Structure 1
Amino acid sequence: MLTVDCSDIEEEMNYNENNVKVTKAYSPNKEFLNSMIPGKDNNIASERIDKLIELDPMLTQFKPQLMKRYNSYLDLKDTIQYYGEGLDKFSMSYKKYGLNKTEDGILYREWAPGAAKAFLTGEFNNWNLTSHEMIRNQNDIFEIFLPNNEDGTSPIKHNTRIKLCLILPNGERVFRIPAWIRRAVQNIKITEIYQGVYWDPPQPYVFKNKSPPKPDRLRIYEAHIGIASPELKIATYKEFTKNVLPRIKYLNYNTLQILAVMEHPYYASFGYQVSSFFAPSSRFGTPEDLMELIDTAHGMGLYVLLDVIHSHACKNTNDGLYRFDGTDHQYFHPFPRGYHAVWKTLLFNYSSLEVLRFLLSNLRYWIEEFHFDGFRFDGVTSMLYLHHGIGGTQFTGNYEEYFSEATDLEALSYLMLANDMIHTLYPNCTTIAEDVSGMPGLCIPLSEGGCGFDYRLGMGIPDMWINFIGSRREEDWSMNDICWTLTNRRNQEKTIAYCECHDQALVGDKTIAFWLMDKEMYDYMSDFSKLTPLIERGIALHKMIRLITSALGGESYLNFIGNEFGHPEWLDFPRKGNNKSFQYARRQFNLPDDPLLRYRYLYEFDRCMNELEEQYGWLNTQQGDIHFTNQIDKVITFERGNLLFVFNFHSWKSFADYKIGTRHVGIHDIILNTDNKKFGGFGRIDESCRHFSQPGRFANRDQYIKAYIPNRTALVFKYSN
């Protein structure tokens, strides 16, 4: 059922058990709405799905299901076009909902269909609960206009607290933070309960820099503001701008992806239990501080993405959206469909136009007001399927899994609509899907029958590395398994490869560096301590894992803050279970900065690896052409981006004059060597040595070179005539 906000829809009048009148908008069914939409063309879906099938002929038998999905999205778009005055205007509703300043005063509008009465209260009226009653219109929208004071000043002062007071049909009075609030701050007495604030700074932030052009491949530095300091505290937007942005630029990343920006009361939720979707987290600073961060990043040429959470919301009532109007089904599906049993969060009802208005406007808000360049959509797998990927669900790649009754058409239609809006109105923006299921067409343009995302995350890659490091002896590492996992992705659908992101660093897991070297990192990471076999192994494999993941795993690459230099231990936010300690909720940038510690070698390697990718652009080329794997020697060789990559994963065997196939005739020069001393290696290779191709069939190539490849070493060769 679609709930429509339009003035010409008939009203229903109901009376509750206390004889209180409750007005509800009439909600005609979807078929009725579509029958009223003129000019609907049902051939569009068929033509576009045919394009998708051309890319993947295995989808042929599923054309009816694909048609149903695509038409569901088109129906939703048509409905918004007809009743919501078009997707552009509909998605700018943050300028008419919530508290908005006008020339003459402040207009406040709030959707609360389950409430009988509404009042605005706050410091501006000394918390009077009845003086500012809101008027309810026929579409369950409460509104109130507060004119300017006689001297022309605002009726509500900047940075003062406000609340919405609702009277429910049973007479109960409840208080809520406005759903569209742009500033929420912690209650001084109860730090995990938030209060709404009217935010209207006298000097709005003025952006100085334009967004950089959309990169043709992303090298993403994924970061959390609060942990971006070695100090035992919550870091701020300003500190990140000053201390971390220069590091990201130095390391040659071209994209910053920021986590945990949308306001969340529980810090240990890592930002994934959002309460106020339009409010940047106040624990890191002001909205203007965040704007300055993004503006400064743009000035450095960095593209900036927001980790957006539209898959679920926190279940708080005092400072969240749950039971906002007294019901459990305003923004969310009723229980049990509206509850995620693992995350213990609430699931949006994407069939409601008012929910769509809220979410689509939320995306526009972050782009328009903060100049974000796109989004990484969290929890897409949970959205795509009614089972949310839990309860023992396994995704094996069988196409039947994607086209069963378990697919949530409402959520899928919302994601397609969001991508439509973003890419139509903001061609420079990028969208990324966090999806582990591998749904076909997810990252194909809407014009070709897909769902419209630009990239999906290669979520199987870090699982492979943790499995190898934590569960297999090094001599049992399978070169074929590594290559298969790194190249097993859908044709024409771009993947972001990564060894570890924030998920792998959280408590219960640990960083790859700590998996490799464990407690010896505490005592043997100094150049003045002995180089133990475990530290030697860890430093070598850390570099190799990163290089082969970047070179072979996708069309873009991601690193989580601190992992570039082998951050030790794990990530754990202050909470009751750890006595609210900040010991593990920080990134120890002092480690790579110390000239006596070996962390600096990994830091420098990361910089040089990204610099090389910037120069040769292998991420923006066809998938790597693997032409040789040797399980006994533990050697992998492949070509990508006009470069030749050679990996020797053997724990103790080095090979002299090792034969390596190549398709190029001429000179092969080493341009990256993980064994270089500046990267913490042993310097066993003379990088000035030039390697000349020789004719002869080897590894499915007509030419070959011979090279010395030490154990646990990777080499990258460039070609020249």
Structure 2
Amino acid sequence: MKRHARYLPITKNDAWLVPYNQEITRRFLHVHNMIFEIENLYGSLYDFAGNHLFLGLNYDKEAQGWFYREWAPAAKALFLIGDFNEWNRVSHPLKRRKDGIWEIFLDDKTYSEKFTHESKFKVLVHSQAGELERIPPYIRRVIQDETTKDFSAQLWNPKQVFDWEGDEANQSKILDEVKDNLLIYECHVGMAQEKEGIGTYLEFAENILPRIKDLGYNAIQMMAIHEHPYYGSFGYHVSSFFAPSSRFGTPEDLKLLIKKAHELGIAVIMDIVHSHAVKNIYEGLNFFDGTEYQYFHAGGKGNHDGWDSKLFDYGKKEVLQFLLSNVRYWLEEFRFDGFRFDGVTSMLYHHHGLGTSFVNLSQYFDMSVDTDALTYLQLANALIHSLDERYISIAEDMSGMPGTCRPILEGGLGFDYRLGMGIPDYWIKLLKEYPDETWNIHDMWHVLTNRRFNEKTIAYSESHDQALVGDKTIAFWLMDKEMYYSMSKDIPNLAVDRGIALHKLIRLFTMSLGGDAYLNFMGNEFGHPEWIDFPREGNGWSYKYARRQWSLVDNKLLRYEYLKQFDKAIIKLATDYQLLKNIPSRNPARQLNMDEVNKIVIFERAELIFVFNFHTTHSIPDYKFWVPQAGKYEIVLNSDDEQFGGFNRIKPEVEYFTLPEATESGTENFLQIYIPNRVVLVFKRVG
């Protein structure tokens, strides 16, 4: 790293950032110095992120036994308890080492038949908080007793090591292929099946991965993988960061899912939750050594009132090691292809983004920014890309922090993508508050194309956030109760016709204009009805709304099939024409025509011409517009096609030739087409 550059690249490339160059440089030097210190003390950032191989439960081949080590600096005593010692609370004390580390060794000679695969255990911690049975923070397997609902750690050491044969080549090929064409299918294993219950990793691998492959998506983003005590938290109240949720199956089951995804050409991205942790004491990290400030900030600073959770102290070396080791662990042990970092906005600011509108650049560089959290994210991205520069790193940030998706060497945070969180908010606001005829196409264009220069954005019209109770999916906003009675193909219904037409337009408009990658939440591609509501006391602990009704889209008599086929078609369009590849993020699309009267938007991207008609009634014959190149054009996608639930108002065999016309600028080329209302046509020049 160049320590004395006057201006870092992100400042050079954006004149608006010049007044903040001093702070940008300070951040750059801070993380540089952190890495320098880590390398001096530990050899490398990679080795620093190897604490899971020392703390927690690890087998030592040379010593022939199990070491259990724990960092608990304020604890008075620790005892290992479990079925191996009949839960004796005093027989197996840990010895205190330096730096607040406690340790016990269970040798094979004594415990080979007592401390075995699937043995249950906990650690009894004596502290100022009392004597509490706790789950070890670095443990890799946690299970819940179905009767008592009590959680226990579990020794996980199956005789047969998981067979990853062939996966390395498959994974490498996938990482190359998704680099410039990332198409993400966001999913939740537990609610992915149609049954009223919790789905498993194996059921997902068998039943859902083939569906995703058929749709054409090349990546899945898996939610709720960390162990979490409350299923209804959607995986956000994490208790055990190194343990994949046992309610979905075993670690080997998860590995099989990932291996099969790789075999199908699908990358697997994990939703990693390092922004906060569950407040629970018995299952989680809270008060582990008897203090509130071991892993988290003390006092009110350690609480996220909006999420009812605890906030990490990213300024502590041990917390950095815990979180960075977690990053390394998931990549190496389970072969995930990257991460979507949850709650980045909450991490970056002391106010967590609550009640804050980011309206000027000074807000990104003032005292409200949590420098420790910012540095952690830089270190995490440095670690991820040191393992493989092709690994995917996504920031869930709604604030728009400059440099989020620029390399650390340029003064950025090092993410590859940010989620375009303003896009779904915009669509929902339009659908809730404005009649179709009042939609402003210039506002639509601005929202979809307004993003930071040279920083990649993942566009999406809706994710799991819009599907959860308290909100509605786009399909539900559009069609509401009509989805219960009028989705049959032989039942005419104007509300459903409108809903299907706009659902298609919104999705392709988002994909083609909104960014450099695309995301969809499972089931939303076919307009899954209703919301997601996990079992809770308020609904009688029902799973009715915590599942996906695939039978709806599989039923050829229902209109859900139309939306699925259109989604499949736009994913194929993006893949076949490399729609999202190598397009500068500032202006990925070239605007050709904006017609407010007729609600028509025409633009070029990836040498395709997109013609959107958002008007409620205006279907226009012989609509003339300028195109950059003369020649013959053909339609490669027509949302009015019958297979997509359209009305076949466009004849597919029609050929389109440009017409020269004299203008003030010289001779220009124009196309004339018939463009029906609420339809999008995509043209390709063929001669």
TM range (shorter): over 0.9
Structure 1 counterpart of 2:198, one-letter code: I
- In the TM superposition, residue 483 of structure 1 has moved relative to its aligned partner by 0.5
2:76 is the counterpart of 1:112: no
Whether contact under 8 Å (1:311, 1:382) holds in the other structure is yes
2:540 is the counterpart of 1:579: yes
- In the TM superposition, residue 713 of structure 1 has moved relative to its aligned partner by 0.3
Structure 2 counterpart of 1:164, one-letter code: V
Whether contact under 8 Å (1:307, 1:377) holds in the other structure is yes
Equivalent of residue 123 in structure 2, options 164, 178, 186: 164
- In the TM superposition, residue 187 of structure 1 has moved relative to its aligned partner by 2.7
Equivalent of residue 708 in structure 1, options 659, 662, 674: 674
Cα deviation, 1:203-248, whole Å, max 9, x if unaligned, reads: 1211132312241221000000011012111111111001100011
2:105 is the counterpart of 1:145: yes
Whether contact under 8 Å (2:175, 2:391) holds in the other structure is no
Matched pairs, number: 673
- In the TM superposition, residue 82 of structure 1 has moved relative to its aligned partner by 2.4
Whether contact under 8 Å (2:458, 2:514) holds in the other structure is yes
Cα deviation, 1:490-513, whole Å, max 9, x if unaligned, reads: 110000000000100010101100
CA distance in 2, matches of 1:393, 1:119: 46
CA distance in 1, matches of 2:221, 2:6: 32
Cα deviation, 1:512-532, whole Å, max 9, x if unaligned, reads: 001000000111101122x21
Whether contact under 8 Å (1:249, 1:300) holds in the other structure is yes
2:436 is the counterpart of 1:436: no
Partner of 1:686: 651
Cα deviation, 1:476-499, whole Å, max 9, x if unaligned, reads: 011011100000001100000000
Partner of 1:204: 161
Equivalent of residue 303 in structure 1, options 267, 274, 278: 267
- In the TM superposition, residue 323 of structure 1 has moved relative to its aligned partner by 0.3
- In the TM superposition, residue 47 of structure 1 has moved relative to its aligned partner by 2.7
Matches for 1:149-548 after TM superposition, within 5 Å: 149=109, 153=112, 156-168=115-127, 172-191=130-149, 193-208=150-165, 209-210=167-168, 211=171, 212-214=174-176, 215=178, 216-390=180-354, 392-396=355-359, 398-529=360-491, 531-548=492-509
Structure 1 counterpart of 2:69, one-letter code: R
CA distance in 2, matches of 1:358, 1:190: 30
Partner of 2:686: 720
Cα deviation, 1:605-637, whole Å, max 9, x if unaligned, reads: 111111111100111142011221111101000
* CA 1:73–1:667: 2 relative to 1, 3 Å: same
Whether contact under 8 Å (1:660, 1:699) holds in the other structure is no
Whether contact under 8 Å (1:134, 1:143) holds in the other structure is yes
CA distance in 2, matches of 1:324, 1:696: 77
Matches for 1:562-601 after TM superposition, within 5 Å: 562-601=523-562
Whether contact under 8 Å (2:227, 2:240) holds in the other structure is yes
Structure 2 counterpart of 1:198, one-letter code: L
CA distance in 2, matches of 1:267, 1:240: 17
Partner of 2:565: 604
Structure 1 counterpart of 2:613, one-letter code: N
CA distance in 1, matches of 2:562, 2:436: 23
CA distance in 2, matches of 1:410, 1:416: 10
Whether contact under 8 Å (1:105, 1:155) holds in the other structure is no
Whether contact under 8 Å (1:510, 1:571) holds in the other structure is no
Whether contact under 8 Å (2:8, 2:25) holds in the other structure is no
Matches for 1:98-109 after TM superposition, within 5 Å: 98-103=56-61, 104-109=64-69
Whether contact under 8 Å (1:697, 1:704) holds in the other structure is no
Partner of 1:24: none
Moved more, 462-471 or 82-91: 82-91
- In the TM superposition, residue 443 of structure 1 has moved relative to its aligned partner by 0.3
Cα deviation, 1:654-700, whole Å, max 9, x if unaligned, reads: 01111122111101110000000000101110122111112236899
CA distance in 2, matches of 1:271, 1:448: 34
CA distance in 1, matches of 2:288, 2:197: 33
Whether contact under 8 Å (1:45, 1:71) holds in the other structure is yes
- In the TM superposition, residue 154 of structure 1 has moved relative to its aligned partner by 6.0
CA distance in 1, matches of 2:275, 2:33: 21
Partner of 1:33: none
Q: Identity over aligned residues, as a percent? A: 49
Moved more, 92-101 or 75-84: 75-84
2:594 is the counterpart of 1:632: no
* CA 1:408–1:234: 2 relative to 1, 3 Å: same
Whether contact under 8 Å (1:48, 1:448) holds in the other structure is no
Tell me the secondary structure at the aligned position of residue 220 of structure 2: strand
Structure 1 counterpart of 2:554, one-letter code: D
Whether contact under 8 Å (1:657, 1:706) holds in the other structure is yes
Cα deviation, 1:377-415, whole Å, max 9, x if unaligned, reads: 00000001000011x21112x101111100000000000
2:48 is the counterpart of 1:87: no
Tell me the secondary structure at the aligned position of residue 572 of structure 1: coil
Partner of 1:649: 614
Tell me the secondary structure at the aligned position of residue 500 of structure 1: coil
Moved more, 636-645 or 196-205: 196-205
CA distance in 2, matches of 1:702, 1:362: 59
CA distance in 2, matches of 1:46, 1:404: 23
Moved more, 414-423 or 160-169: 160-169
* CA 1:469–1:352: 2 relative to 1, 3 Å: same
Partner of 1:18: none
Tell me the secondary structure at the aligned position of residue 107 of structure 1: strand
Cα deviation, 1:37-59, whole Å, max 9, x if unaligned, reads: xxxxxx82443852111211111
CA distance in 2, matches of 1:154, 1:408: 49
Gaps of 5+ in 1: 1-42
CA distance in 2, matches of 1:573, 1:597: 26
CA distance in 2, matches of 1:106, 1:395: 51
Tell me the secondary structure at the aligned position of residue 668 of structure 2: strand
- In the TM superposition, residue 176 of structure 1 has moved relative to its aligned partner by 0.6
Tell me the secondary structure at the aligned position of residue 416 of structure 1: helix
TM-score computed with the length of structure 1 as normaliser: 0.91
Tell me the secondary structure at the aligned position of residue 580 of structure 2: helix
Moved more, 690-699 or 205-214: 690-699
Tell me the secondary structure at the aligned position of residue 620 of structure 1: coil
* CA 1:514–1:610: 2 relative to 1, 3 Å: same
Tell me the secondary structure at the aligned position of residue 67 of structure 2: strand
CA distance in 2, matches of 1:345, 1:236: 27
- In the TM superposition, residue 316 of structure 1 has moved relative to its aligned partner by 0.5
Equivalent of residue 55 in structure 2, options 97, 101, 108: 97
TM-score computed with the length of structure 2 as normaliser: 0.96
CA distance in 2, matches of 1:197, 1:411: 32
Structure 1 counterpart of 2:415, one-letter code: F
Whether contact under 8 Å (1:332, 1:348) holds in the other structure is yes
CA distance in 1, matches of 2:634, 2:664: 20
Tell me the secondary structure at the aligned position of residue 619 of structure 1: coil
CA distance in 1, matches of 2:259, 2:680: 38
Over aligned residues, Cα RMSD in angstroms?
1.5
CA distance in 1, matches of 2:413, 2:2: 15
Whether contact under 8 Å (2:181, 2:575) holds in the other structure is no
Partner of 1:558: 519
Structure 2 counterpart of 1:579, one-letter code: G
Partner of 1:8: none
* CA 1:564–1:73: 2 relative to 1, 3 Å: same
